[in-house]
Amino acid sequence: MSDVAIVVVGASLGGVGALQELTAGFNISIPAAFFVVQHIGRHRSLLPALLNQCSVLPAVHAYDGQPFRPGHIYVAPPDHHLCLTPHLIRLSRGPRENFTRPAIDPLFRSAARCHGPKVIGVLLTGRLSDGAAGLYEIRARGGLAVVQSPMDAACPDMPVNALRHAGADHVLPLAAMPGLIARLAQGVVFANEASP
């Protein structure tokens, strides 16, 4: 998957509306595969259906062993961590992290370890600090961190904690994120194609 950026997105409280707004701004030609963790615990999730109402990119609940492709959105199913390998999605019922499963940090960590500088980590509204450690690892391995401006977030805890512990390459309101992420994805692909 040298020709695709890996965009990992985490959200919690207030996240469904934020994810709808974010994904509505992408077009089908974006050279990225998207992976989403929304804190839902064991509860039934309608998130893929909700995203499909507003996004041209098809959204599905991920399944274990699933190959991923650009122009698609893969959502963590209830009560499973979503993790990445170089070419496949892995689901796990491992221990809860940050009091939840699915959690954001397992996705961010696995993406950073397998895809390094091809990763764009996006952290949206939410409570507590899930995602901060994962964003730190993404940045440590050459990826980029995009954080929703705390003043713009329905719940600023996760953005504030991420900025405090991991920093960010870009901090901006949700409305400006789709355009930025599209440009960053193009840059990731260009840099990867240009490297020997």
The pTM (predicted TM-score) of the whole model is 0.97
CA within 13 Å, CB half, 48: 16
Instruction: List the CATH number of the domain containing 35.
Output: 3.40.50.180
Total domain count, the chain: 1
Q: Pick the catalytic residue: 105, 130, 152, 157?
A: 130
For residue 96, give the 3-state DSSP assignment: coil
Angle CA 54–16–174, to nearest 5: 80
Say what the pLDDT of residue 195 is: 67
Say what the pLDDT of residue 186 is: 95
Q: Is residue 27 part of a domain?
A: yes
Q: Is residue 174 part of a domain?
A: no
Residues in the chain: 196
Q: Is residue 3 part of a domain?
A: yes
In the residue annotation, 39 being an active-site residue is answered as yes
pLDDT in tens, the chain (196 residues): 568 999 999 999 999 999 999 999 999 999 999 999 999 878 889 999 999 999 999 999 999 999 999 999 999 999 999 999 999 999 999 999 999 999 999 999 999 999 999 999 999 999 999 999 999 999 999 999 999 999 999 999 999 999 999 999 999 999 999 999 999 999 988 887 766 5
Please give the structure tokens belonging to residue 45: 């999730």
Q: Is residue 193 part of a domain?
A: no
CA within 13 Å, CB half, 139: 18
Contact 81, 101 (CB under 8 A): yes
Cα distances from 171 to residues 7, 81, 146, 176, 180, in angstroms, run 16, 26, 6, 10, 11
Q: Which residues pair with 18 in a beta bridge?
A: none
Q: Pick the catalytic residue: 39, 80, 81, 115?
A: 39
Q: Is residue 131 part of a domain?
A: no
Q: Is residue 47 part of a domain?
A: yes
Say what the pLDDT of residue 2 is: 63
Q: Is residue 167 part of a domain?
A: no
Domain that holds residue 50: 1-91
Q: Is residue 161 part of a domain?
A: no
